[in-house]
């Protein structure tokens, strides 16, 4: 049992005498017991020195109850001795000698009470010190010059998984893993026994805890003959090292971030920490930013930093907003700010700030492009629309809607199939199948206007499947009604012309400048000795001139004026006979 253990028992018993009636009553009780013991000893052994009998009572009263009860026990003991001495004259001397003896007894008793108080205080302090040492997380042991354990706290015993009686008195090499003492401990302990404070780190494998990182400090303790003991303090820093590593890694990641990261005090909104990107974006060094508040860089900071904004942030945990930040040179740039409320050992605001200058430029360019596209579409005379594969219009521009006599909203509510002329609705169904299967289609559709008139639209549509929940057909159509009517009129005119051309009595032919017959009627063919117009087409007319100079004259006049009217020549038939005179208009 250590000294502190022994004094701890005294202090523990003394703690039961916390109230003054108990302490002083205990002193009176001890004196009474001493008187009873005196009577028993006198009966057994005859007269004895009375002062010796009362000294144990005074010592116990001082140690267990304190200085005041010890003095009371001294006074009561002296009074008892005086009473017996003067009445029975036990000392056998004169009364002055008795008085001097009582005074000396009181002085000795008081001195013993004072020494007892010092002993009690020392024991109390030592007991408190041992309780503190026992409660520490650090492992603490004291070893002597023979490397034997003298003292070990509970933390050290728990790490080793041992009881105190199994450790105290044993040598270090008997406890540590084989080879560790000679390799890592002995040299440092010897250095400490030479008077140096030694600190180092090492990794040790505990049977029940695994491998742990330890920070170890050795402190020399000087005794009467020099340094004869060493206090060893071992701290498990495994988790601290892991935490430090995680923090360094986290800090490296934060500093490498493409976004500015800032930590703010929720009360003052002062910067507590910033990463390198924040310094780079704002043009300040870290020390400058740490002396500033968020209002120094955010002109719109009042929006979120108002009492209502802060309360909302604490309630929701985070907010995202857009603002502008001001650089050191006074220029500003748009930012997107994500603010989070973080509660650790204290409260923090953590903001992630992203420079959105390029995004704003892209958005502006996109809006401008969309505005141009919207203006182009809305003012286009052609149909620009989208529809699904069920034939329902999803969007349409205004011009074609008005051309058909509808408002845009009204047109969007009508199924496309109902807008197609009845005889072409089956072709519309086939169109939906084709664009669904192939992804594109083009052709003509006959569309009904609101007043029943028919319009012919030439369309060229494609199918969009990416970026949409369901496929959407993009349609572009041009009104070709007038062109179709003109084409129909031309075909009819050409048909009538062909009929007149074929049935004409006079020979009519179309001849290239090189002399090849491109077209002719039957009268022309017979005139040149062919059985039909088809046989005559492709023949060479230059072989039919009796006088080649006539053809050259005709070609020269055509090149100059572009027309020759009413000329007569004698031409030869294919069989060589004279075909007679011809009148030519070119």
pLDDT score, position 36: 76
pLDDT score, position 15: 55
Mean pLDDT, rounded, for 263-284: 89
- The CA distance from 264 to 290, in Å, is 10
Calculated CA dihedral for residues 19, 23, 25, 28, nearest 10 degrees: -170
> 224: domain range?
136-241
Whether residue 521 is contained in a domain is answered as: yes
pLDDT tens digits, residue range 560-576?
Answer: 777 777 667 667 776 66
Q: Are residues 36 and 100 in the same domain?
A: yes
- The CA distance from 100 to 488, in Å, is 158
Whether residue 375 is contained in a domain is answered as: no
Please indicate whether residue 528 or residue 236 has the higher confidence score (pLDDT): 236
pLDDT tens digits, residue range 236-266?
Answer: 999 888 878 877 877 787 888 888 998 888 8
Confidence of residue 96 (pLDDT cuts 50, 70, 90): low
Backbone angle region of 566, left / alpha / beta, with phi > 0 → left and psi within -120 to 50 → alpha: left
CATH value at residue 295: 3.30.450.20
Q: Report the range of poorest mean pLDDT among 173-182, 325-334, 566-575.
A: 566-575
Residues 6+ apart with CB under 8 A from 508: 501, 520, 521, 523, 524
Q: Are residues 261 and 350 in the same domain?
A: yes
pLDDT score, position 188: 93
Structure token pair of residue 548: 């080649």
Burial 42-66 (b: 16+ CB within 10 A, else e): eeeeeeeebbebbbebbbbbbbbbb
Please indicate whether residue 174 or residue 513 has the higher confidence score (pLDDT): 174
Query: Which of 111, 132, 153 is the C-terminal boundary of a domain?
Result: 132
Query: Is residue 76 predicted with pLDDT exceeding 80?
Result: no
Whether residue 217 is contained in a domain is answered as: yes
Query: Which of 457, 485, 513 is the C-terminal boundary of a domain?
Result: 485
Q: Are residues 236 and 311 in the same domain?
A: no
Q: Are residues 150 and 227 in the same domain?
A: yes
pLDDT score, position 73: 75
H-type alpha helices, 404-453: 408-412, 416-419, 425-438
Number of domain units in the chain: 5
pLDDT over 70 for what percent of the chain? Answer: 77
Mean pLDDT, rounded, for 339-348: 82
Q: Are residues 8 and 116 in the same domain?
A: yes
Query: Is residue 101 predicted with pLDDT exceeding 70?
Result: no
DSSP structural state of residue 294:
G
Q: Are residues 125 and 60 in the same domain?
A: yes
Q: What are phi and psi of 420, to 5 degrees?
A: -90, 140
- The CA distance from 68 to 14, in Å, is 13
Whether residue 188 is contained in a domain is answered as: yes
Q: Are residues 267 and 229 in the same domain?
A: no
pLDDT over 90 for what percent of the chain? Answer: 17
For the chain, the maximum distance between any two Cα atoms, rounded to a whole number of angstroms, is: 202
What is the overall mean pLDDT for the chain?
Answer: 79
pLDDT score, position 126: 58
Q: Which residues pair with 420 in a beta bridge?
A: 447
**Beta-strand (E) ranges in 171-311?**
198-206, 210-223, 226-236, 260-264, 271-274
pLDDT tens digits, residue range 491-509?
Answer: 777 777 777 666 666 677 7
Mean pLDDT, rounded, for 170-183: 88
Query: Which of 132, 159, 184 is the C-terminal boundary of a domain?
Result: 132
Q: Are residues 67 and 35 in the same domain?
A: yes
- The CA distance from 61 to 29, in Å, is 9
pLDDT score, position 322: 87
- State pTM to two decimals: 0.42
pLDDT score, position 7: 46
Confidence of residue 12 (pLDDT cuts 50, 70, 90): low
H-type alpha helices, 325-389: 357-378
């Amino acid at each position: 049992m250590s000294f502190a253990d022994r004094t701890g028992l005294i202090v523990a018993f003394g703690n039961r005498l916390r109230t003054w009636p108990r302490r002083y009553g205990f002193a009176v009780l001890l004196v009474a017991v001493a008187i009873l013991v005196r009577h028993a000893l006198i009966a057994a052994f005859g007269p004895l020195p009375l002062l010796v009998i009362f000294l144990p009572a005074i010592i116990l009263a001082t140690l267990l109850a304190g200085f005041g009860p010890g003095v009371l026990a001294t006074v009561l003991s002296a009074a008892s001795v005086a009473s017996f001495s003067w009445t029975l004259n036990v000392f056998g001397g004169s009364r002055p000698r008795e008085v001097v003896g009582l005074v000396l007894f009181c002085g000795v008793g008081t001195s013993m009470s004072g020494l007892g108080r010092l002993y009690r205080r020392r024991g109390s302090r030592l007991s408190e010190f041992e309780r503190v040492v026992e409660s520490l997380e650090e492992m603490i042991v004291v070893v002597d010059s023979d490397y034997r354990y003298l003292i070990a706290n509970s933390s050290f015993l728990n790490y080793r998984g041992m009881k105190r009686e199994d450790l105290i008195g044993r040598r270090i090499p008997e406890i540590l893993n084989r080879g560790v003492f000679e390799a890592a401990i002995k040299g440092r302990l010897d250095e400490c026994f030479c008077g140096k404070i030694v600190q180092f780190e090492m990794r040790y494998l505990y049977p029940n805890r695994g491998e742990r990182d330890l920070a170890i400090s050795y402190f020399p303790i000087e005794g009467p003959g020099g340094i004869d003991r060493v206090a060893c303090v071992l701290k498990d820093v495994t988790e601290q090292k892991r935490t430090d590593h995680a923090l360094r890694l986290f800090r490296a990641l934060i500093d490498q971030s493409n976004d500015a990261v800032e930590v703010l005090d929720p009360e003052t909104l002062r910067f507590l920490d910033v990463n390198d990107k924040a310094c780079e974006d704002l043009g300040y060094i870290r020390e400058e930013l740490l002396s500033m508040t968020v209002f120094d860089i955010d002109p719109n900071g009042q929006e979120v930093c108002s009492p209502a904004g802060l309360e909302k942030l604490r309630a929701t945990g985070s907010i995202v907003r857009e603002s502008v930040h001001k650089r050191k040179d006074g220029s500003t740039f748009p930012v997107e700010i994500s603010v989070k409320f973080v509660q650790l050992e204290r409260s923090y605001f953590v903001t992630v700030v992203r420079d959105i200058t390029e995004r704003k430029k892209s958005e502006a360019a996109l809006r401008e492009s969309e505005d141009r596209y919207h203006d182009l579409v809305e003012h286009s005379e052609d149909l620009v629309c989208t529809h699904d594969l069920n034939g329902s219009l999803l969007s349409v521009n205004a011009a074609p809607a008005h051309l058909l006599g509808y408002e845009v909203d009204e047109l969007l509510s009508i199924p496309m199939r109902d807008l197609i002329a009845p005889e072409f609705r089956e072709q519309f169904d086939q169109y939906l199948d084709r664009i669904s299967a192939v992804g594109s289609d083009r052709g003509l559709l006959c569309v009904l206007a609101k007043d029943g008139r028919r319009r012919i639209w030439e369309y060229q549509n494609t199918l969009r499947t990416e970026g949409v929940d369901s496929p959407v057909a993009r349609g572009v159509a041009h009104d070709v009604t007038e062109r179709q009517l003109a084409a129909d009129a031309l075909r009819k005119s050409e048909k009538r012309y062909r009929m007149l051309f074929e049935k004409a009595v006079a020979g009519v032919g179309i001849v290239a400048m090189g002399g090849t017959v491109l077209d002719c009627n039957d009268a022309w063919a017979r005139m040149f000795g062919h059985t039909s117009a088809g046989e005559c087409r492709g023949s060479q007319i230059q072989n039919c001139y009796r006088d080649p100079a006539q053809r050259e004259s005709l070609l020269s006049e055509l090149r100059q004026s572009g027309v020759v009217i009413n000329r007569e020549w004698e031409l030869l038939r294919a069989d060589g006979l004279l075909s007679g005179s011809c009148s030519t208009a070119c």
